[in-house]
Structure 1
Amino acid sequence: MKIIECPRDAMQGIKGFIPTDTKVKYINQLLKVGFDTIDFGSFVSPKAIPQMQDTAEVLAKLELGATSSKLLAIIANTRGAEDAAQHKQIDYLGFPLSVSETFQQRNTNKSIAEAMEQLAQIQDICHKHGKTLVTYISMGFGNPYDDPWDVETVVSFVEELDKLQVKIVSLSDTIGVATPENITYLFSHLIPSFKHIEFGAHLHTTPTTWKEKIEAAYQSGCRRFDGALHGYGGCPMAKDELVGNMPTENLVDYFENNGVNLTLNKAALQAAMAESGAVFL
């Protein structure tokens, strides 16, 4: 079981700039917990995401010597990929590919066709520098723009990613509209059909629907889950202010109650949860 903690996703929408040293202190505490991966920052235009303009500076101050956690950075184009790939500490480059044409334009200023071309180039950059590409299928469970969506469309996107030899694909419930039914359908069909791809669940949720979403993905074979402590962050386009990231502590509780040994440092986790208040509140 892999839990990916996503402070980047939690931080990026906060309007007031979080001081670099505050970010560093928080991420260093997260590194002590034992999460598989920390989605710690992004190499994107500071005009687009001003909160992440100090990602390289944060990276330089992280205490990586005593952690087993790997680092993931989000990129939106080949320039960002080249910048991120120069840092040996980064293991994964994450690219948001949307099944919604509208969201792809809003998120990366590209059409889906242009994004796919960029993705092929980014995969080459990853191979050249020894990085692994993680592709997020944004709006993977529906969108608010009335753009066409169905499960077959998602499957067709995975087929295209498979041609590019993408090894990790995370289905993103960007606005929290996933249901247990379509979560179950997608994971139960994709996982056995593409056994060489690691599928993840990046689920957004309300306080009342988190358990049914985790359960549907887990029982359908998913073993990679993204979360953010206390559910901070989420999609700024979400109409419901209660729709945030999947709370990591809920993931931990669910899996441990189902007999999964996550081998996390509980004291470090509690300290990180306490520390998060200084970052987000």
Structure 2
Amino acid sequence: MLVYATYFIRLYLVARRLGTTARSVIIKFIIRSIYLGLCILGLLGPSFGVNEIEAQATGKDIFFVFDLSRSMDAIDIEPSRLEKAKFEISKNIDLLKSDRIGLVVFSSEAYTHTPLTFDRDAVKLFIQKLNSNLFPRNGTDLNSAFALILKKFQSINSINSRKTKVIILITDGEDFGRIDQSVINELKKNRINLLTLGVGTPLGGQIREGDDFKKDSDGQVVVSKLNASYLVNLTKSLNGKYFQLTNQLNSVADLLKEADKVESNWIDTRKMTVANNKYYYFVILAFILMIIDILFTVRTIKI
């Protein structure tokens, strides 16, 4: 503005010395000052008047269900099945954008390790601390995990029944026993989505126990194998999808993207009053003045 003002004053003085009028220069200066000011006002986003809009809220609750039985310490995946799963889930968990996340762990029994929360850092911290020593007795009772999650989701339903519910099961599928059909029916009834991550290999691996490997009652080294067929059938019974994690195949990112793609249900609609942004009035007027400025020529010296 200072440079342009200096240019205008110099042009005006030259016109006076030559005995000609500087009226056109003055007009152009005024026009340019006005449309520059209008552009600045448009950038500031002036708002006046109010408008009522409807804002819709959507939601999705996701429980990670970690198998912490001793078979998850098998070393067919380095450094172990559980450690590899923990690392990959923590690394990719931010793919779940605005969902609430909770942790349920199970072995011979199940309990809630982390309640549903939006705090990703807290969830990552609790995942890193998971280990098979959290349970005094070894075993694999998936019925207790599903029953606990049903109880958690039903308590949420009493507050809001519309939220989408997702279970992400992380396990090797070994020694599950028989899943109670009534539990499966309740999961279907509550429209709970199941995604399963099978961790391990069909060839299996030994389970480290101190400086040696775990042995059975006959003194033979125990080899734990991934029971993929069992997990695939379980997941299909709930219309879910199965993914796998090995040293060669890592589907964790695909799993979390699939969980994120599960449609979030409508929860609530609220009316909000917002100010109307009228920037375009100023921009349109500035554009008209620009066109006038281009079409209007300056004549300082008349011959």
TM-score surpassing 0.5? no
**Greater RCO, 1 or 2 (C-alpha within 8 Å, sep 6+):** 2
Task: Give the TM-score of the pair, scaled to structure 2.
Answer: 0.29
TM-score (norm 1): 0.31
Which has the larger Rg?
2
Greater strand percent: which structure?
Answer: 2
